[in-house]
Amino acid sequence: MDMLAKMKTVFMERFGDKKTRAFFSPGRVNLIGEHTDYNGGHVFPCAISLGTYALVADRDDMKTNVFSVNLADKGIIGFEMSGLKHDATKDWANYLMGVVSMFEEAGHKCSHGFDIAIGSTLPGGSGLSSSASLEVLMAVILNEAFGFGLDMVEMVKLAQRAENVFVGVNCGIMDQFAVGMGRKDCAILLDCNTLEYRYSKLALENASIVITNTNKPHSLASSAYNVRRAQCEHALNELREVRPELKALGELTNPEYDKLAGHISEHLERQRARHAVYENQRTLAAVKALENSDVAEFGRLMDASHVSLRDDYDVTGKELDTLVELAWQQPGVIGSRMTGAGFGGCTVSLVQNEAVEAFKANVGKAYEEAIGYAPSFYVASIADGTHRL
For the chain, domains (ranges, CATH) are 2-201 (3.30.230.10)
Q: Of the candidates 161, 186, 183, which has an alpha carbon nearest to the alpha carbon of residue 173?
A: 161
Cα of 312 vs its chain's centroid, Å: 21
pLDDT computed for residue 376 by the predictor: 95
CA atoms within 13 A on the CB side of 29: 30
Please report how the helices 356-371 and 318-328 are oriented relative to each other, as an axis angle in degrees rounded to 10.
140
- Length of the chain, in residues: 389
Looking at the chain, the whole-number percentage of residues with pLDDT higher than 70 is: 98
pLDDT computed for residue 224 by the predictor: 79
Pairing of strands 45-58, 21-30: antiparallel
The residues with which 46 forms a beta bridge, in sequence order, are 29
pLDDT computed for residue 220 by the predictor: 52
pLDDT computed for residue 1 by the predictor: 57
- Residue 18 to residues 8, 54, 56, 82, Cα–Cα distance (Å): 10, 14, 9, 24
Residues of the chain with pLDDT under 70: 1, 217-223
Would residue 175 show up in a list of annotated catalytic residues for this protein?
yes
SS3 of residue 369 by DSSP: helix
pLDDT computed for residue 13 by the predictor: 96
8 A C-beta contact, residue 29 and residue 46:
yes
8 A C-beta contact, residue 53 and residue 185:
no
| CA geometry: angle 261, 267, 268, nearest 5 deg | 110
pTM > 0.95: no
Active-site residue (options: 175, 191, 258, 303): 175
Check residue 60 and report its DSSP letter: S
8 A C-beta contact, residue 76 and residue 65:
yes
Going edge to edge, which strands form the sheet with 63-68? 77-80, 63-68, 114-120, 45-58, 21-30, 387-388
pLDDT computed for residue 221 by the predictor: 43
88 C-beta neighbours (distance < 10 Å), count: 6
For residues 253 and 54, give the distance between their C-alpha atoms in angstroms, rounded to a whole number. 43
8 A C-beta contact, residue 354 and residue 360:
no
Beta-sheet strands, E only, within 175-247: 186-191, 197-201, 207-213
